[in-house]
Chains A and B, each alone.
Chain A
């Protein structure tokens, strides 16, 4: 099973700042099948990024994803108030599909 380790656990930033969230896989992920999800309190997760770097339908272009080997990054270029939430990475290239433990993005 591939273990995904997200860092930091909590990120405190202000609106307008740039956010960089990391996700490290314990081994190579098949076909770069890594997704990022945003979850707000009391809501289901929302798909932001698939295939490590492709934005899902309707996702603002301030969200971007990248990869370098087994390291995956979600970047939010300029934080909006509605971006403060918990973010999860997921790999869906190797069964069982697994999630990271999440990064909480909070207002500073």
Chain B
């Protein structure tokens, strides 16, 4: 087990609604990244947080936003849901000792979001 947990496991929403997904990092990890994985595709980077600050962002619109808390847990918020937002949302934590260091990312099991 990686130690990264995500909630909820599954979620069904309708178009236009808002959703919040949660992630608890592995103990000692201060960097969290979020990815979107559509069915049959590889994960796509949404953004990364390091010590509560956004530390890089992929090609996703502003309605995708996030937070990292002092205990390094994190939230992904998506506003104005669209049908194409249906995907598996993955959180990954890493034990970066600085924002310039590469360290292995440990993935959680994901949250399956379905937008109807």
Is A bound to B? Answer: no
Residues of A within 8 A of B (CB): none
